[in-house]
């Protein structure tokens, strides 16, 4: 495998649609409020993709250094685990990605707020720094929060609350009346993706003391938690659409929950964690479908 393909593998392209779901939903809500701007939308997408790729590089590096990625691992092989990239190469990639993402984030903040709102610009720049720190320290360092059952919380906050509400604020400079419901939906569905990932890896993670929430909760409770995440996400989305929609067309995004409810059934029936890997992709793509449909009904 060439180095280019190795870096593409480390970037984990299949995770990118989920990462932009919050931007699509926040932008669509801003569109509904009559405040959409294409430049802010594009820069927000690029910034989010930068954060996600940085997180993927950092996870590959952190789990590789700690020895978490070993022969017992169930999911796709990592770049460092497979020997495709060395630790120093991944560290260099993290530095370059951080610099690029900060540059794009700075352009986004300037485009959104200009020279007139220094305080808001400072707040969002610090949020960008916080996102970078969160992306790296999920698995990197002695106090990596991904090893302390806190990954779900950070995913909910950054993918949901900051991703959706923060994006909406960039357009409107307001928090919106019901936008938080959309943020809860995306945040919980993103946490469901992580939970599936952790359920798949629960046994090998427990062996190396990676205490994800799935490890802490155990198999049965993790399945109940998964159903709760998707169920509450649906309720939150339904309430938002019920409050904001004037006809049945507005409820079309809820179609994305059909495969999600089927996923719950498969999760409860599952007895072999390795078989959860395809379900992980289904939940991520269903979340992206919800975001795309929500964006489409507001665009057209």
Mean pLDDT of 58-68: 85
**What is the percent of the chain with per-residue pLDDT over 90, rounded to a whole number?**
82
| pLDDT greater than 70 at residue 69 | no
Lowest model confidence (mean pLDDT) among 75-89, 113-127, 262-276: 75-89
User: What per-residue confidence (pLDDT) applies to 73?
Assistant: 59
Mean pLDDT of 149-171: 97
Buried (b) or exposed (e) across 122-146, using 16+ Cβ within 10 A?
A: eebbeebeebbebbbbbbbeeebeb
DSSP of the chain, one letter per residue?
--HHHHHHHHHTGGGHHHHHHHHHHHHHHHHHTT---HHHHHHHHHHHHHHHHHHHHHHHHHHHHHT-SSTT--SSPPTTTTTSS-HHHHHHHHHHHHHHHHHHHHHHHHHHHTTT-HHHHHHHHHHHHHHHHHHHHTTSSTT-GGGBT-HHHHHIIIIIIIIIIIHHHHHHSS--SSHHHHHHHHHHHHHHHHHHHHHHTHHHHHHTT-B-HHHHH-HHHHHHHHHHHHHHHHHHHHHHHHHH-SSGGGGGGGGGHHHHHHHHHHHHH---GGGGHHHHHHHHHHHHHHHHHHHHHHH-
Closest CA to 179 of 243, 227, 101: 243
User: Per-residue pLDDT tens for 201-214?
Assistant: 999 999 989 999 99
pLDDT band for position 64 (50/70/90)?
Answer: confident
User: Per-residue pLDDT tens for 184-195?
Assistant: 999 999 999 999
Q: Is 284 exposed, middle or buried (0-12, 13-18, 19+ CB in 10 A)?
A: buried
| pLDDT greater than 90 at residue 77 | no
Residue whose structure tokens are 């802010």: 40
Mean pLDDT of 122-132: 96
Q: How far is it, in rounded angstroms, from Cα 270 to Cα 44?
A: 37
Mean pLDDT of 108-117: 93
User: Per-residue pLDDT tens for 260-295?
Assistant: 999 999 999 999 998 999 999 999 999 999 999 999
User: What per-residue confidence (pLDDT) applies to 75?
Assistant: 62
User: How much is the pTM?
Assistant: 0.95
């Amino acid at each position: 495998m060439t180095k280019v393909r190795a870096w593409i593998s480390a970037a984990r392209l299949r995770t990118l649609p989920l990462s932009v779901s919050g931007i699509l939903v926040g932008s669509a809500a801003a569109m509904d409020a009559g405040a959409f701007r294409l430049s802010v939308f594009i820069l927000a997408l690029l910034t989010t993709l930068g954060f996600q790729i940085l997180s993927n590089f950092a996870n590959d590096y952190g789990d590789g250094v700690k020895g978490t990625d070993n022969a017992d691992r169930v999911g796709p092989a990592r770049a460092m685990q497979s020997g495709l990239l060395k630790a120093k190469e991944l560290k260099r990639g993290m530095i370059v990605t951080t610099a690029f993402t900060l540059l794009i984030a700075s352009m986004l903040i300037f485009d959104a707020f200009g020279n007139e709102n220094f305080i808001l610009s400072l707040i969002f720049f610090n949020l960008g720094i916080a996102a970078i720190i969160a992306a790296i320290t999920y698995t990197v360092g002695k106090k990596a929060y991904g090893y302390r059952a806190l990954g779900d919380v950070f995913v909910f906050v950054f993918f949901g609350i900051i991703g959706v509400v923060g994006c909406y604020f960039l357009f409107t400079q307001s928090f919106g009346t019901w936008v938080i419901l959309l943020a809860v939906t995306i945040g919980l569905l993103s946490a469901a993706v992580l939970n599936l990932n952790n359920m798949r890896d629960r046994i090998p993670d427990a062996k190396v003391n990676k205490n994800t929430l799935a490890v802490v909760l155990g198999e049965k409770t993790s399945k109940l938690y998964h159903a709760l995440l998707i169920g509450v996400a649906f309720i939150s989305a339904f309430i938002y659409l019920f409050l904001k929609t004037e006809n049945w067309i507005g409820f079309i995004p809820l179609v994305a929950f059909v495969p999600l409810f089927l996923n719950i059934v498969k999760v409860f029936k599952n007895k072999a964690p390795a078989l959860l890997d395809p379900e992980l992709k289904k939940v991520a793509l269903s979340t992206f479908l919800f975001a795309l449909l929500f964006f489409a009904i507001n665009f057209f």
